[in-house]
Chain A
Amino acid sequence: MIDGKDKSSIIQMFHVHKHYGSKKALIDINLNVSKNEFLFISGPSGAGKSTLLRLLYLGEPVSEGQVLVDGMNLSRISKKRIPFLRRKFGIIFQDYKLISTKTVFDNVALVLEASGKKRKFIEKKVRSVLRTVGIEQRINAPPHSLSGGEQQRVAVARAVVGVPKIILADEPTGSLDSDSADIILNLLKGFHTHGGTVIVATHDKELIRKAGGRILYLKQGRLLGPTPI
């Protein structure tokens, strides 16, 4: 029975399929992610890692099956509730997805503005998070003036500033050098240490080895379970 009553789980996927026309991107995915878990979804490019993450925050709907996130059944969620679902997540994209016309501060503050927080609180909280990720000195800079590593740190700051329950990171170190990748990994570990759930989609074996945590392997749209690195 799909009732989302498993209190230790924060994400559950039941027989989830995703196809684009005749092309099958995900096939019969069953997944259970516990609260405060650090999970890696690994696999080659085109295996369906990003698609799987998108299904979790309703970036796309599933073709078949059911997804439960923190008690919310995504098949039954109304359009008005989607923003509330997304506020449970902090999402880190491989291409950072920072708004080029806004400053570092504005990009991070956007999350708190969207959830209706007061200006004073936003000011304080954003500065604090930017300090944590080590980028406070670039607070008024536009994203295009930052290096790749710095941009990804801003993206991490944006992901954690709203204190989400889950962080989804899609290839977070894909275009970074190893030092910058370490910084990002430490930030993710910090979030995990404070009780958050982290799901990272990556094919970066080095990152997986350094982080530890559960690893699931995705190949041609099928989840194959744990795999040795």
Chain B
Amino acid sequence: MATYYHRAVKDIKDNGFLSAVTIITIALSILIVSAFALFFTNANNVMNHWEKGIRIMAYLKPGISQKNFPDIKRKIQGIYGIQDVNFISKEEAFKRLKEQMKRQSSILMDLNENPLPDAFEISMIASSQSGEKVEEIATKIESLPSIEDVEYGQKWLERFTNIFDLFRLAGYAMGGIFFMAAVFIVANTIRLVIYTRREEIEIMRLVGASEKFIRGPFYIESIIQGTLGGIIGIAVLFITFKLISSNVEHSFKYELLNIKFLSPEFYCGIILCSMFVGWLGCYISLKQFLKA
């Protein structure tokens, strides 16, 4: 095994240019596929975070007497899937609006009366935070006689999810294409190496070298190239991620966009995958061009 390894390392050095092209191609493929994976992982996290934060706002009809509020709250709480119901008076809502508008809050000074309705802010239990369930709860709340309107951010989140799913599909397709491209390049590199060393291989066979002895170093060479390509791809992605994420986190509220790098399990998986790319490229090439 040590002999195979030394021969493989020597071959990589002897065919420096070809090896570099292979490693760079694998690194680029891994970089692009991992960048997609990183985007999806973080987008998924953000969407889960948003979904958890979804609230239904139930606005009361004007003129509903304050003494009816506990009764309405009870009815809402009786609906399955509701976790918490908070009453927000029109005065409280107006105060919050002024706080949110900050500098523009002077516009609100000109209003003769508070235009905001009394409302209930309703949060759901975890199992009821999916799109359909939120909509079902919202419809039930809306059907209560004292409720004028309900509002929730689920619809735009669903649209975003659809776009996200499209991206995910494109990501899978691109991953597949880059995987095939990398395998093709490795296979071609090994083919060229076999071609340049065809005389040597022939002599090895004549002196009684087994196929394992001849092929072993090619496999080790390809797996080394795959591993190096994978590590370089992940390293470049990590450096880029660090540079971008520090800027992004300064621009957004931390709770809103808590972006993270790929988990160790995930990038170890990617490196294993790039080793497999090397092995597969070699296997294809040897099967085609190194017939015993």
Contacts and interface: CB of A to CB of B under 8 A. Distances in A.
Interface of A: 57, 59, 79-80, 82-87, 89, 91, 97-102, 110-111, 113-115, 119, 158, 162
B268 interface: no
A206 to B, nearest CB: 28
B248 interface: no
Interface stretch (B59-67, B206-214, B225-233): B206-214
B237 to A, nearest CB: 37
B200 A83 contact: no
Report, nearest first, the 10 A-B pairs whose CB atoms are least far apart. Answer: A114-B209, A87-B208, A86-B208, A83-B210, A83-B208, A111-B207, A99-B200, A114-B213, A97-B203, A79-B292
Nearest to B213: A114
Given A99-B199, A99-B203, A111 B292 contact: no
B177 interface: no
B206 A86 contact: yes
Contacts of B209: 83, 110, 113-114
Interface string B186-212: 000000000001011001111111110
Given A97-B203, A114-B213, A84 B208 contact: yes
A114 B199 contact: no
Interface of B: 2-3, 14, 197, 199-200, 203-211, 213, 292
A114 B200 contact: no
Contact of B207 (A79, A101, A102, A110): A110
A162 to B, nearest CB: 7
A119 to B, nearest CB: 8
Contacts of A114: 204, 207-210, 213
Contacts, number: 55
A88 B35 CA distance: 56
Given A99-B200, A113-B3, A114-B213, A57 B206 contact: yes
Nearest to B292: A79
A133 to B, nearest CB: 16
A97 B208 contact: no
Contacts of A98: 203
Given A114-B210, A114-B213, A86 B205 contact: yes
The residue in A79, A85, A97 that gathers the most chain B C-beta atoms within 10 A of its C-beta is: A97
B208 to A, nearest CB: 4
A99 B207 CA distance: 12
A57 B292 CA distance: 14
Given A110-B209, A114-B207, 9 more contacts: A80-B211, A86-B205, A86-B207, A87-B208, A89-B208, A99-B203, A100-B199, A110-B207, A113-B209
Contacts of B213: 83, 113-114
A110 B207 CA distance: 8
A79 B214 CA distance: 14
27 contacts: A59-B206, A80-B210, A82-B292, A83-B208, A83-B209, A83-B210, A85-B208, A86-B205, A86-B207, A87-B208, A99-B203, A101-B197, A102-B200, A110-B204, A110-B209, A111-B207, A111-B208, A113-B3, A113-B209, A114-B204, A114-B209, A114-B210, A114-B213, A119-B3, A158-B207, A162-B207, A162-B208
B203 A101 contact: no
Nearest to B210: A83
A97 B292 contact: no
The residue in A57, A86, A102 that gathers the most chain B C-beta atoms within 10 A of its C-beta is: A86
